[in-house]
Amino acid sequence: MNITFLGGTGTVTGSKYFIETNTTKILVDCGLYQGYKWLRARNREPLPLDLKSLDAIVLSHAHLDHSGFIPVLYKQGFRGAIYTHPATISLCSILLPDSGHIQEDDANFYKKHKISKHENPEPLYDKETAEACLSLFQAVEFNKAFRIGDIDLVLQSAGHILGAASVILEADGKRVGFSGDVGRPDDIIMYPPKPLPPLDLLLLESTYGNRLHDKEDAYEQLAEIVNSTAKLGGVLLIPSFAVGRTEAVQHMLATLLKRDLIPKLPIYLDSPMAINVFNIYCQHFELNRLSKKQCQDMCNIVAFTKTVDESKALSDLIMPHIIIAGSGMATGGRILHHLKRLIGDYRTTVLFTGYLSGGTRGAKILAGKDNVKIHGKWWPVKARVEVLNGLSGHGDYEDITKWLQSSKLHPKTKIRLVHGEPEASEAMRDHLMQHTKFEVEVANYHEILRL
Ligand SMILES: [Zn+2]
């Protein structure tokens, strides 16, 4: 069996691992590159494989950095099956068309305002293509074995977000695990990731390979931010990831309100996508920690702004309020319009809720840049900028080390680190070499492993 690393190396985006046996070829994950321009340019390059001979895709979870390239392959003619958890199918049916829609919008905006270097900026794919590729998805429950050609597979829960899985496959007498994105043992909404079985090789994510989550209580931090922003008479802007983090923020705000720890400010969920995702979370109680009552409370505290006009009307509000809008890294979506009008006001707080990939607008704002470019113009940053680290959907390096130690891996298991920026993966390797017996290396782009 050969494994080729076609993405998720040296970056947390573009996850794609190509597995070949004598008779079968599959991709595990098919993610979009995001962040730095040189990384995004890879989305326009053809994959070094013959799509006609690709049998199937196995998808770990719905986030676009794992799923967002599927419509590109569909556009190029791929018609094989895409195996994934049913909740991931539900989430992809929202996320992928939305991704197509955002790309069409961006291309139109750049065309209209003539701010692209390209004469005729084209979206990578449109909404229609993203909707069409959903017909290829096939549901596989956790812990149910399935087979593609001569490869045996099973998905097991990885925490992180609804439906997120680690992928375990067996072929040619070897067993390989793909961690996927690994959640936290104490996530506000998701259950802890399931420990791994014995493996010959593990491709392990390393997003937080060089950082530990703030031990500060996330509820206390959020309460302080809401209270001080309200005192200033400002707006709390929360750029939020529609899947997972938005639900966690909503749940935390509902809890704080119930305990009377924050004032009753108007809260707007300005993201049609997050509204749909919220409904999916509430349909899957068995997969998360939320109860029906908690879902109702979360629903009751927010006003949903579905239409563009409702969203625009938020600019008329003068009293302190909270706006939760996508996207989480401020790379697109409605949050951009709110940032443009509010980031130059010292009374505003911008609160990020998770990992910000290098090169994204969110990462630049958090790094303390004086000005930020939105829609081709520079805007001064005067707002307070914070990040709610306690809300990340990824385990930090200590969480992951404990997860590995609770697994059934034997000391001879080889680990290849993926899904991390270079300094994070390097630090994770050093940590694991000191605290475990595994042979650990950082995977390289286009590297081929032969098992
Ligand atoms: Zn993810």
pLDDT tens string, the chain, 451 residues long: the values are 999 999 999 999 999 999 999 999 999 999 999 888 888 889 999 999 999 999 999 999 999 999 999 999 999 999 999 999 999 999 999 999 999 998 898 788 777 776 666 666 789 999 999 999 999 999 999 999 999 999 999 999 999 999 999 999 999 999 999 999 999 999 999 999 999 999 999 999 999 999 998 878 899 999 999 999 999 999 999 999 888 889 999 999 999 999 999 999 999 999 988 889 988 988 888 899 988 899 889 989 999 998 999 999 999 998 999 999 988 999 888 999 999 999 999 999 999 998 888 889 999 999 999 999 999 999 999 999 999 877 888 999 999 999 999 999 999 999 999 999 999 999 999 999 999 999 999 999 999 999 9
Task: Tell whether 421 and 352 lie within a shared domain.
Answer: no
Please name the residues in contact with 163: beta carbons below 8 A apart, sequence gap of 6 or more.
Answer: 61, 62, 84, 85, 86, 87, 88, 89, 90, 91, 287
Dmax over CA atoms of the chain, in Å, equals 66
User: What CATH number corresponds to the domain at position 344?
Assistant: 3.40.50.10890
Task: Tell whether 145 and 236 lie within a shared domain.
Answer: no
Task: Tell whether 137 and 151 lie within a shared domain.
Answer: yes
Last residue of a domain, one of 387, 406, 438: 387
User: What CATH number corresponds to the domain at position 110?
Assistant: 3.60.15.10
Last residue of a domain, one of 387, 417, 432: 387
Task: Tell whether 184 and 55 lie within a shared domain.
Answer: yes
Ligand 1 centre to CA of 202 (Å) is: 18
Task: Tell whether 317 and 438 lie within a shared domain.
Answer: no
Task: Tell whether 207 and 262 lie within a shared domain.
Answer: no
Last residue of a domain, one of 371, 387, 403: 387
CB 360 within 8 A of CB 35: yes
Ligand 1 centre to CA of 118 (Å) is: 31
Number of domains in the chain: 2
Ligand 1 centre to CA of 27 (Å) is: 17
Ligand 1 centre to CA of 398 (Å) is: 18
Task: Tell whether 97 and 226 lie within a shared domain.
Answer: no
Ligand 1 centre to CA of 243 (Å) is: 9
Task: Tell whether 279 and 320 lie within a shared domain.
Answer: yes
Ligand 1 centre to CA of 162 (Å) is: 10
Secondary structure string (H, E, C) spanning the chain: CEEEEEECCCCCCCCEEEEECCCCEEEEEECCCCCCHHHHHHHHCCCCCCHHHCCEEECCCCCHHHHCCHHHHHHCCCCCEEEECHHHHHHHHHHHHHHHHHHHHHHHHHHHCCCCCCCCCCCCCCHHHHHHHHHHEEECCCCCCEEECCEEEEEEECCCCCCCEEEEEEECCEEEEECCCCCCCCCCCECCCCCCCCCCEEEEECCCCCCCCCCCCHHHHHHHHHHHHHHHCCEEEEECCCCCHHHHHHHHHHHHHHCCCCCCCCEEECCHHHHHHHHHHHHCHHHECCCHHHHHHHHHCCEECCCHHHHHHHHHCCCCEEEEECCCCCCCCCHHHHHHHHCCCCCCEEEECCCCCCCCHHHHHHCCCCEEEECCEEEECCCEEEECHHHCCCCCHHHHHHHHHHCCCCCCCEEEEECCCHHHHHHHHHHHHHHCCCEEEECCCCCEEEC
Q: Using alpha carbons only, give the angle 275, 277, 278 rounded to the nearest 5 degrees.
A: 65
| Token duo for residue 379 | 């805007």
Ligand 1 centre to CA of 63 (Å) is: 5
CA distances from 95 to 40, 223, 259, 264 (A): 18, 30, 34, 31
Task: Tell whether 359 and 317 lie within a shared domain.
Answer: yes
pTM of the model: 0.88
Closest CA to 211 of 445, 428, 450: 428
Ligand 1 centre to CA of 244 (Å) is: 9
List, in sequence order, every residue forming a beta bridge with 167; answer none if it has no partner. Answer: 155, 178
Ligand 1 centre to CA of 22 (Å) is: 31
Ligand 1 centre to CA of 181 (Å) is: 5
Task: Tell whether 93 and 107 lie within a shared domain.
Answer: yes
Look up the domain containing 289 and give its range: 218-387
Q: What is the pLDDT of residue 222?
A: 96
Residue with the two structure tokens 């045996």: 152
| Token duo for residue 80 | 């094989």
| Token duo for residue 187 | 């996530």
Task: Tell whether 378 and 344 lie within a shared domain.
Answer: yes
Task: Tell whether 383 and 397 lie within a shared domain.
Answer: no
